[in-house]
């Protein structure tokens, strides 16, 4: 499926989506946190899209927003798409977990929680993955400061 066809199809499911192809090789969709889980399960289950392979899940600190970027690929149609979700709440950012859709998300979401402090609803085992449980702060946020362990130029 071409990006244009994908955009038309997905646009018919949920209304408040933003599409963009600028500055990226993929089609980017920005979705609100409320519609994230619904969009994701549609993308996976719909026969025409069938994005069954979540190949990358990254947390990003866009300052001031925090967000997650999902890179999806379909192993049958071989098309790719990028889904982005953002929230301005830095104190208690929460998204829905997608690990019931793609099992690989379980570890990736734990990683994002570890480094960005983004919580995921319905995650079976949301705790720190790399850092110790006592670690304070979320190191990959842009406002994280650690005078001992970080070399800042």
Contact residues toward other proteins (CB under 8 A) are 22-26, 28, 52-56, 58, 60-61, 69, 71, 75, 78, 82, 102-104, 106-108, 111, 115, 129-132, 139-140, 150-153
With respect to other proteins, which residue has the nearer C-beta, 19 or 26? 26
CA 39, CA 53: separation in Å to the nearest integer? 15
- Supply the minimum distance, in Å, between the C-beta of residue 91 and other proteins: 21
With respect to other proteins, which residue has the nearer C-beta, 12 or 126? 126
- Supply the minimum distance, in Å, between the C-beta of residue 117 and other proteins: 14
- Supply the minimum distance, in Å, between the C-beta of residue 12 and other proteins: 26
In this structure, are residues 81 and 96 in contact, taking their beta carbons and an 8 Å threshold?
no
CA 43, CA 51: separation in Å to the nearest integer? 6
What is the four-CA torsion angle of 63, 150, 55, 33, rounded to 10 degrees?
-30
| Residue 137: partners with Cβ closer than 8 Å, 6 or more residues away | 144, 146
With respect to other proteins, which residue has the nearer C-beta, 75 or 92? 75
In this structure, are residues 131 and 114 in contact, taking their beta carbons and an 8 Å threshold?
yes
Per-residue tokens: 70? 């999902």
- Supply the minimum distance, in Å, between the C-beta of residue 147 and other proteins: 14
With respect to other proteins, which residue has the nearer C-beta, 76 or 121? 76
């Amino acid at each position: 499926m071409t990006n244009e066809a994908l955009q038309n199809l997905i646009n018919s499911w949920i209304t408040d989506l933003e599409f963009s192809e600028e500055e990226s090789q993929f089609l980017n969709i920005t979705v609100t946190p409320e519609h994230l889980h619904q969009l994701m399960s549609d993308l996976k289950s719909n026969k025409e899209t069938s994005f069954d392979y979540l190949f990358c899940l990254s947390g990003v600190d866009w300052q001031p927003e925090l967000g997650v970027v999902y890179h999806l690929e379909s192993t049958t149609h071989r098309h790719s798409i990028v889904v982005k979700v953002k929230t301005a709440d830095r104190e208690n950012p929460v998204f829905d977990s997608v690990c019931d859709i793609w099992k690989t998300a379980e570890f990736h979401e734990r990683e994002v929680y570890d480094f960005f402090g983004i919580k995921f609803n319905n995650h079976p085992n949301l705790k720190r993955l790399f850092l110790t449980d006592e670690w304070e702060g979320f190191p990959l946020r842009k406002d994280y400061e650690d005078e001992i362990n970080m070399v800042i130029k």
